[in-house]
Chains A and B, each alone.
Chain A
Amino acid sequence: MGETPHRSADAGTGGTRVTQSHEWPAGASARVAEAPVSTRSPGGTGLGGGGALPRSRKFGAERAFRGLTLAAGTAVLVIIAAIAIFLVAKAVPALRANTENFWSYEGWSPNETEPKFGIGALAFGTVLSSALALLIAVPVALGIALYLSHYAPRRLGTALGFLVDLLAAVPSVVFGLWGRDVFSSPVRDFSVWLNQHFGWIPLFGGDGPFGASVMLGALVLAIMVLPIITSLSREVFLQTPTANEEAALALGATRWEMLRTAVLPYGRPGIIAAMMLGLGRALGETIALALTLGITFGISFNLIQNGGNTIAANIANAFGEANETGRGALIASGLVLFAITLIVNITARAIIYRRREFTESAA
């Protein structure tokens, strides 16, 4: 719709030259500078219609307003760049002072005279808990979304969808508190049971204590991202063209076959976007994990023993007693988190943009 004024402005007036002053592409300030100041020379090439238009001024409200919006747009790029620059600036001195390998050392004691800290275990914990959370949440969320969009009676579906949207807005600290105070005891019982009967699998091995584990953290994360993924994918499923669904049904497809052949393929880009958004939230989640994980520093696939840690949770926990180097070290870890989420996001967006073009041209 951004193009509309362009077309109409050119339609009946005196050629492009007169109206062009309203329509220069953004970021073409160089062209603004070299363009002739007076676009309407008397007796010049302009046709009759051009005379009716107001003279385009060099410093008019139009230019000022456009400059203002351009500045606001540029601010976004500046902020992203500033985040990277300032994090790097504060992280480098701490990284210089680090006496161990930043990537491989398993531990976090940057406040001592010989600072030692490493990101390896933290990054591992971040990825492990987020991946587990997504693994649990995505199938369930897609199930709920399908239920709400295609199985539930319309009124019930709308009401429950509204409820899911509300749950997506519940702050993470509330989930963290609930996970620690309420959810941890059933998870502990379950962990003990798993350990008794499936202890031979390394994931569920160990000899306790259980409870404040990666499993608890991942489950709380899963419950947290569930409403987000559900509400986004439900919206996508609802947008499936009715014609596609009816065509599938008319060809004799069962309801599941209709969902599989018409709804799911149509919603795939949306599902990917929802997953990535959920993953982004899970990767960056701080407080819920700081409250539920039993903070340790080590790389372990054991899911049920007390332990687990993530970059963000470590920042929240270690920030209180951090000195100058400690802060730098935490900022360095934040930089790694920023890089991870940036990669995830850019990948997701690239997928979505490509898919969007594809689906729009196909539709």
Chain B
Amino acid sequence: MTTTATSHRTRPPAQPDSLRAKRLPWYAAPAIAVAALALSAVLVYGTSIGGPVLVIVLGAILYLVGLFAAANAVEGRRSARNRTWSALIHSAFVLAVLPLVSVVWTLVSKGADRLDVNFFQTSMNNIGARDANGGAYHAIVGTLEQVGIATLITVPLGVLCAIYIVEYGRGKFAFAIRFFVDVMTGIPSIVSGLFVLAFWVLIVSPWFNDGRPSFSGFAAALALSVLMLPTIVRSTEEMLRLVPAPLREGAYALGVPKWKTILRVVLPTALPGIVTGVMLAIARAAGETAPVLLVAGGGAAINTNPFENNQSSLSLFVYQQAGDASKYAPARAWTAALTLVALVLILTIAAKLLARRNRLSR
């Protein structure tokens, strides 16, 4: 590289070779790779302990070893380490991309089978094991209602909680709230489902239902709220902290009381960021299966009333169809999964784009 760069200029002063670090020639890495693959093929097929996959895996290991040895001999230990780690990091990337690509590919290819109008217009009511039809209309209705109610509950609560933490909270109590919001982020979804089962379905709902516990979409919404709350509080909190102090001080200087400053100045400034956080929380909640399974019960028929009787959701529909013995069930499961992923991804992408346009973000 030095030769091409300097050829147009005056000649560089002659540099003795002993001063310049020795480097492996550019063809060394591919050559080692080919040699490693060949050696591993000979080893694997010679002892007949495996197939092509093993050849590649063993070849990769041999390549790393060979690269280290060659670089160590020519360039020295530090450079050899550098090369090996660099190769390892690249291979980690390849290793992880394979399964993730496989997930996406399977999702699209298998999900496309039942991606028809019928799927979005029918429920699973009266669909037996031999019926090829059936759809996820009831599940989509369930998902939208449950997530919608959960959002209605969580957004005011979460935003107010964040305002308390950022604007009013002082001392140990506010610290405790922050700490437990963080801790709440880690509550498993199934535990929140069990909590609502114990609290709402088994203890509260019998009051409204002649003493019998009743599953409902609303219970699922409650469980999802427990999961969404910490996400919303955290993102709102971070956004509120990014609002510039002069904005607040300007409002105070004009004699605006603190609550009005928060509502009229701070919140509108932070709004895009807050909306981003809310959308990410919704996306996460929409994909939750376990709480819906425990407290909404799932059902085959369309139930638009979230306060009574079983309700399904898209993710629960996927799970139930995956466990169904009918030979048509897997296709329905994959199409529902595709729908669910599309819904979640649209929300996530919209949230990310919104975040990118947000002036406050870093």
- List A residues at the B interface (Cβ < 8 Å): 1-2, 4-5, 8-9, 22, 25-27, 54, 60-62, 64-66, 68-77, 79-80, 82-83, 86-87, 89-90, 139-144, 146-148, 151, 162, 165-167, 169-178, 180-183, 193, 197, 223, 226-227, 230, 254-257, 259, 276-277, 280, 283-287, 290-291, 312, 315-316, 319, 327, 330-331, 334, 337-338, 341-342, 344-346, 348-349, 353
Residue among B54, B96, B330 having the largest count of chain A Cβ atoms under 10 Å:
B96
CB neighbours (8 Å) of B136 from chain A are none
- B168 touching A66, Cβ below 8 Å: yes
Closest B residue, CB atoms, query A143: B92
Residue of A nearest to B156 (CB): A72
Interface pair B337/A345, CB less than 8 Å apart: no
Q: Is the CB of B191 within 8 A of A147?
A: no
- If A173-B315, A257-B78, A319-B294 touch, does A341 touch B89 (CB 8 Å cutoff)? no
CB neighbours (8 Å) of A284 from chain B are 186-191
A73 and B171 within 8 A (CB):
no
Check A286/B164 contact, CB under 8 A, given A5-B258, A174-B318, A256-B86.
no
B79 touches A254 (CB 8 A): yes
Given known contacts A27-B173, A72-B160, A90 and B202 CB-to-CB distance under 8 angstroms: yes
Starting from the known contacts A5-B167, A73-B160, A87-B194, 20 additional A-B residue pairs (CB-CB under 8 Å) come to A2-B169, A5-B258, A25-B170, A65-B259, A65-B263, A69-B163, A86-B198, A144-B93, A148-B93, A170-B287, A171-B286, A173-B337, A174-B340, A175-B103, A230-B96, A255-B86, A284-B188, A286-B188, A315-B190, A346-B183
If A8-B252, A65-B262, A169-B284 touch, whether A73 touches B93 (CB-CB below 8 Å) is no
A residues less than 8 Å from B283 (CB atoms): 169
Q: Is B337 within 8 A of A143, CB to CB?
A: no
- Which residues in A have their C-beta under 8 angstroms from that of B229? 76, 79
Name the contact of A182 in the complex, choosing from B106, B190, B315, B344 (C-beta under 8 A). Answer: B106
**Judging by beta carbons under 8 Å apart, are B183 and A345 in contact?**
yes
In the bound complex, CA of A256 to CA of B190 (Å): 41
In the bound assembly, the distance between CA atoms of A199 and B169 in angstroms comes to 60
CB contacts (< 8 Å) of A172 on chain B: these are 287, 289
Please name all residues of chain B whose beta carbon is closer than 8 Å to the beta carbon of A144 when the two chains form the complex.
Answer: 89, 92-93, 96
Q: A174–B107 contact, CB under 8 A?
A: yes
User: Considering only CB atoms and an 8 Å cut-off, how many residues of chain B contact the other chain?
Assistant: 110
- Please determine whether B203 and A183 come into contact, CB atoms closer than 8 angstroms: no
- Cβ contact within 8 Å between B82 and A82: no
Do B349 and A62 touch across chains, with their CB atoms under 8 A apart? no
Tell whether A75 pairs with B188 under 8 Å between CB atoms, given A144-B93, A287-B290, A327-B197.
no
- Our count of residue pairs bridging A and B at CB distance below 8 angstroms stands at 306
Does the CB pair A327–B202 fall under 8 Å? yes
Which stretch in B24-32, B123-131, B174-182 binds the other chain?
A: B174-182
Check if B113 is an interface residue, CB within 8 A of chain A: no
Between A and B, 29 residue pairs with Cβ closer than 8 Å are A2-B166, A8-B252, A9-B252, A22-B258, A26-B168, A62-B259, A72-B163, A76-B181, A79-B184, A143-B92, A144-B92, A144-B93, A148-B93, A166-B348, A170-B341, A171-B286, A176-B322, A177-B318, A178-B107, A182-B102, A226-B100, A277-B186, A284-B187, A284-B191, A285-B188, A287-B319, A290-B319, A331-B197, A353-B179
CB distance from B298 to the nearest CB of A (A): 10
Cα separation A346 to B182 with both chains bound (whole Å): 9
A-contacting residues, B332-355, CB 8 Å = 333-334, 337, 340-341, 344-345, 348-349, 352
Chain B: CB-nearest residue to A345:
B186
Residue of B nearest to A283 (CB): B188
Select one of A8, A90, A139, A182 contacting B198, CB under 8 A. A90
Chain A min CB distance to B37 (Å): 20
Please give, as numbers and ranges, the residues of chain B lying within 8 Å of A176 by CB-CB distance.
Answer: 319, 322
- Docked pose: A74 CA to B262 CA in angstroms: 19
B25 CB to nearest A CB, Å: 19
Q: Which residues of B contact A173 (CB under 8 A)?
A: 287, 289, 315, 318-319, 322, 337, 340
Please encode chain B, from 66 to 110, with 1 for each CB lying within 8 Å of some chain A CB and 0 for all others. 000000000000110110011011111101100110110011001
CA distance A90 to B191 in the complex (A): 13
Contact of B195 with A by CB under 8 A: yes
Q: In the complex the two chains form, is A147's CB within 8 Å of B195's CB?
A: no
Residues of A within 8 A of B95 (CB): 140
Nearest 3 CB-CB pairs, A to B? A284-B188, A143-B92, A171-B287
Query: Do A291 and B319 touch (CB < 8 A)?
Result: yes
Interface pair B82/A349, CB less than 8 Å apart = no
B233 at the interface (CB under 8 A from A): yes
Write the nearest CB–CB distance from B355 to chain A, whole angstroms: 10
Residues from chain B with Cβ under 8 Å of A255 in the complex: 82, 86
CA distance A174 to B344 in the complex (A): 12
From A73, A90, A223, B100 is in contact (CB under 8 Å) with A223
Task: Decide if A61 touches B319 in the complex (CB within 8 Å).
Answer: no
